[in-house]
């Protein structure tokens, strides 16, 4: 049974008031891929009466008042992804649809939804407890650069006027806070792990580290980069300390140390909550909610990611420590699918932030926490890293043996660099033979070493070895399957020459991306810090940042050099990069010579015109990340956590490949 969205539904349960009311920027989808669904079901399991207000209109007070005044307080989130990302492309153009809204209609939530919702609640319920959480609140907990406003904004606690902020995966905090409020306490008095609160100087904890104030990071980019470094490094539940940041005159933000991850038993209990695994039936007449399509029959078996890519929100939100559900919990969920009349026998994914992580990266971190200023996999794997796919492989074998299940897919989120550290081919062979649906998505992201270093990714040689092994094993098992590499253009560190090198790499490997993702500076990530400051927060060394519309378009066009409409822009880019040798009819050239070439100046003008045309087109089409995966999969922003999504691309190998037959060589 869904939680009540109206008083009529509440009365059917015999309720005339609610203990807690959850307010969300998404449609109400009762599925564990949705953070608000977990929070609401957890509160229900603790014995509280919980109501849901989904996508209220800030211009209609009645939307916020329809369930009355909650006995203990409101829980507010902006949805599975930041509301600004839900509304705008990387080019800051309005999206034409929203997969988290009934019928896919765009604009059903306000910009900066958490702030708008909380301000309206504070106006209507001046004395109510308001607790915020979810990705939008979590990633904006400190003073942060806002790409859409192009300025540094204070902690979202300041602008929202909420009492308390939960960061990270909030089940433990939710229980502590709920019991505190039910016992007569106030939300702004909570001091458990995993929360942020505002206080004056007298209320500051003694055992804390300080970062530069909101005023300082707003005017000094070096201070911003140093603050980011400290904020990132203290996000470890074992060694992390309190963090203090001044927000205004005698107003300080305090982040308590991160909450301990759920144990396996606790995680199993969360996924055993009575989710309906579907959107509320009231949305059916509106066309349903598209976001459910990719996750209804998918399984999340883990949380956290020690991959820690710089452009991804997971390390700052979920954390780097990997925790997993038990095999039995996952199997029970799969068996429940077979009893669902909508299930057709296909499990769409068995994954998480990184699908093939079933344990922490090493045993040392269990006592001492994850290493500061070091990554487990990049640029080279740590010698202490423990690589073991046996448990994950055993889980996949058991899932595909369940009666009523035809196929179990692993669609994305696989760390190929982790796979390449295995001593034999057992896991990869079975993955290719049984769990790939024709295409396997992996994320090399770029090919240039300096760009990959800025991304926190392994160098491209690892991907090349993986590709060779993938196609060899694919041939050995008698299948025709392809890799789909995710790529990002215009990431900090990427010069025009780097983009040219990537185009050459794609040409060499017969990869033709159908869509390309420009780097999207979302709040709270290391890459966004680089974008804003031009500095690497770990080293404080300068980083080149492509910022102009023309430069971004030229880099993006190079990744699709084979498209006739991009030819002028590619010519401009090659002239600017001094790589005219790539214009010609030779096998290594990217584009043919122009019939009547008017010089780089004319090409540049045409490139700018094409760039403007592309931006206009993007308003309606979007990239694969913007229009597709980001909209339906909370992974990119932390709940399931693949951490990124970018263009689809398929290698064309062999004169008899099905792609060659279609004339797409």
By CB atoms closer than 10 A (0-12, 13-18, 19+), residue 46 is middle
Delimiting residues of CATH 3.20.20 domain(s) in the chain? 293-547+622-661
For residue 611, pLDDT beyond 50:
no
Average pLDDT, stretch 295-302? 96
**295 closest CA partner among 29, 483, 87:** 29
Q: What confidence category does residue 348 fall into, taking pLDDT thresholds of 50, 70 and 90?
A: very high
**How far from 450 is each of 222, 272, 366, 446, 505, CA to CA, in Å?**
21, 44, 32, 10, 15
User: What is the token pair recorded at 121?
Assistant: 């609640």
By CB atoms closer than 10 A (0-12, 13-18, 19+), residue 617 is exposed
Q: What confidence category does residue 412 fall into, taking pLDDT thresholds of 50, 70 and 90?
A: confident
Question: Worst-scoring range by mean pLDDT, 364-378, 606-620, 644-658?
Answer: 644-658
Average pLDDT, stretch 167-186? 97
For residue 635, pLDDT beyond 70:
no
**365 closest CA partner among 327, 325, 319, 326:** 319
Which spans in 416-495 are helix H?
Answer: 416-419, 426-434, 449-455, 460-476
**178 closest CA partner among 73, 41, 32, 23:** 73
Q: Maximum Cα–Cα distance for the chain, whole Å?
A: 79
The pLDDT score that the predictor gives to residue 4 is 98
In sequence order, what are the residues at sequence separation of 6 or more whose Cβ sits closer than 8 angstroms to the Cβ of residue 130?
73, 74, 76, 118, 121, 122, 160, 161, 162, 163, 164, 187
Q: What is the mean pLDDT of the chain?
A: 90
**Distance (Å, whole) CA 326 – CA 167:** 25
For residue range 447-498, what is the model confidence (pLDDT) as tens digits?
Answer: 999 999 999 999 999 999 999 999 999 999 999 999 999 999 999 999 999 9
For residue 294, pLDDT beyond 50:
yes
**How far from 118 is each of 74, 76, 131, 156, CA to CA, in Å?**
9, 7, 9, 10
pTM here is 0.88
Question: Worst-scoring range by mean pLDDT, 140-149, 192-201, 397-406, 647-656?
Answer: 647-656
**Distance (Å, whole) CA 565 – CA 561:** 9
For residue 515, pLDDT beyond 90:
no
Average pLDDT, stretch 74-83? 97
382 among the known binding-site residues?
no
**628 closest CA partner among 607, 646, 602:** 646
In sequence order, what are the residues at sequence separation of 6 or more whose Cβ sits closer than 8 angstroms to the Cβ of residue 301?
324, 325, 330, 350, 351, 352, 358, 392, 395
For residue 624, pLDDT beyond 50:
no
CATH code 3.40.50.2000 for 7-195? no
User: What is the token pair recorded at 353?
Assistant: 């932030």
Average pLDDT, stretch 130-134? 97
Can you state the angle between helices 526-533 and 221-233, rounded to 10 degrees?
A: 170
- Beta-bridged to residue 650, according to DSSP, are 512
Q: Name the more confident of 648 and 89.
A: 89
Name the DSSP class of 627. Answer: I
For residue 653, pLDDT beyond 90:
no
User: What is the token pair recorded at 543?
Assistant: 């980083």
371 among the known binding-site residues?
no
Torsion angle of the four alpha carbons 233, 235, 239, 241, in this order, in degrees rounded to the nearest 10: 90
For residue range 58-75, what is the model confidence (pLDDT) as tens digits?
Answer: 999 999 999 999 999 999
For residue 270, pLDDT beyond 90:
yes
For residue 622, pLDDT beyond 50:
no
The pLDDT score that the predictor gives to residue 615 is 39
Any idea which residue has 């005339």 for tokens? 16
The pLDDT score that the predictor gives to residue 149 is 97
**Distance (Å, whole) CA 174 – CA 48:** 12
**How far from 138 is each of 121, 336, 586, 588, CA to CA, in Å?**
20, 32, 52, 47
Q: Name the more confident of 447 and 651.
A: 447
**109 closest CA partner among 149, 78, 136, 68:** 78
**Distance (Å, whole) CA 585 – CA 589:** 6
For residue 657, pLDDT beyond 70:
no
Delimiting residues of CATH 3.40.50.280 domain(s) in the chain? 7-195
The pLDDT score that the predictor gives to residue 601 is 45
Domain 293-547+622-661: top CATH class: alpha beta
- In b/e form, how buried is each residue of 461-472, taking b as 16+ CB within 10 angstroms? ebbeebbebbbe
The pLDDT score that the predictor gives to residue 158 is 98
312 among the known binding-site residues?
yes
**Distance (Å, whole) CA 510 – CA 522:** 31
The pLDDT score that the predictor gives to residue 514 is 82
- Beta-bridged to residue 583, according to DSSP, are 591
The pLDDT score that the predictor gives to residue 663 is 33
**E-assigned strand segments in 508-644:** 511-513, 517-518
Question: Worst-scoring range by mean pLDDT, 249-253, 433-437, 634-638?
Answer: 634-638
The pLDDT score that the predictor gives to residue 427 is 97
């Amino acid at each position: 049974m869904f939680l009540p969205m109206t008083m009529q539904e509440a009365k059917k349960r015999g309720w005339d008031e609610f203990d807690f009311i959850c307010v969300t920027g998404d449609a109400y989808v009762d599925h564990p891929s949705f953070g608000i669904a977990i929070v609401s079901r957890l509160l229900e399991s603790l014995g509280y009466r919980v109501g849901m207000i989904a996508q209220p209109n800030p211009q209609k007070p009645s939307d916020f008042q329809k369930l009355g005044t909650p006995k203990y307080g409101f829980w507010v989130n902006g949805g599975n992804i930041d509301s600004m990302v839900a509304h705008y492309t990387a080019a800051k153009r309005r999206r034409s649809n929203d997969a988290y809204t009934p019928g896919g209609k765009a604009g059903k939530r306000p910009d900066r939804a958490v702030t708008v919702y909380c301000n309206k609640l504070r106006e209507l319920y001046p004395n109510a407890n308001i607790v915020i959480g979810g990705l939008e609140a979590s990633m904006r907990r400190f003073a942060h650069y806002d790409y859409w406003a192009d300025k540094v904004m204070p902690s979202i606690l300041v602008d929202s006027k909420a009492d308390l902020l939960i960061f990270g995966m909030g089940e433990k905090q939710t229980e502590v806070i709920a019991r505190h409020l039910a016992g007569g306490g106030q939300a702004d008095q909570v001091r458990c792990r995993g929360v942020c609160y505002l206080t004056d100087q007298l209320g500051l904890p003694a055992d804390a580290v300080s970062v530069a104030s909101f005023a300082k990071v707003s005017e000094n980019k070096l201070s911003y980069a140093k603050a980011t470094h400290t904020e990132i490094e203290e996000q470890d539940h074992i060694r992390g300390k309190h963090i203090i940041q001044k927000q205004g005159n005698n107003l300080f933000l305090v982040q308590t140390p991160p909450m301990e991850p759920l144990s396996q038993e606790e995680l199993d209990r969360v996924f055993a909550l009575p989710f309906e695994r579907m959107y509320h039936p009231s949305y059916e007449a509106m066309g349903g909610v598209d976001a459910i399509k990719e996750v209804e029959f998918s399984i999340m078996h883990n949380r956290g990611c020690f991959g820690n890519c710089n452009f991804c929100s997971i390390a700052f939100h979920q954390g780097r420590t990997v925790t997993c559900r038990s095999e039995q919990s996952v199997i029970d969920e799969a068996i429940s699918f077979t009893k669902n009349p909508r299930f057709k026998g296909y499990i769409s994914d068995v994954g998480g932030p990184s699908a093939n992580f079933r344990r922490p990266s090493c045993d040392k971190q269990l006592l001492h926490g994850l290493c500061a200023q070091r990554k487990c996999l990049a640029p080279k794997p740590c010698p202490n890293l423990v690589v073991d796919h046996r448990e994950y492989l055993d889980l996949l074998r058991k899932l595909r043996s369940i009666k009523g299940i035809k196929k179990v897919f692993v669609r994305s989120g696989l760390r190929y660099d982790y796979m390449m550290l295995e001593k034999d081919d057992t896991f990869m062979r079975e993955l290719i033979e049984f769990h790939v649906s024709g295409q396997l998505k992996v994320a090399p992201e770029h090919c240039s070493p300096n760009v990959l270093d800025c991304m926190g990714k392994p160098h491209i040689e690892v991907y090349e070895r993986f590709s060779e092994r993938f196609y060899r094993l694919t041939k050995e098992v008698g299948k025709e399957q392809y890799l789909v590499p995710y790529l990002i253009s215009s990431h900090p560190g990427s010069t025009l020459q780097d983009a040219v090198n990537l185009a050459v790499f794609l040409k060499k490997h017969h990869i033709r991306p159908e869509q390309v993702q420009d780097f999207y500076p979302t709040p709270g990530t290391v890459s966004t810090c680089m974008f804003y400051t031009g500095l690497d927060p770990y080293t404080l060394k300068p980083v080149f940042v492509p910022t102009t519309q023309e430069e971004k378009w030229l880099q993006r066009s190079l990744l699709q050099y084979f498209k006739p409409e991009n030819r002028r822009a590619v010519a401009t880019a090659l002239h600017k990069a001094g790589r005219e040798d790539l214009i010609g009819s030779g096998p290594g050239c990217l584009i043919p010579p122009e019939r009547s070439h008017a010089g780089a100046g004319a090409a540049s003008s045409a490139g700018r015109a094409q760039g403007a045309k592309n931006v206009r087109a993007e308003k309606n089409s979007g990239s694969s990340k913007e229009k597709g995966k980001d909209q339906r999969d909370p992974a990119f922003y932390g709940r399931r956590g693949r951490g990124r999504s970018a263009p689809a691309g398929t290698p064309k190998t062999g004169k008899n490949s099905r792609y060659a037959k279609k004339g797409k060589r």
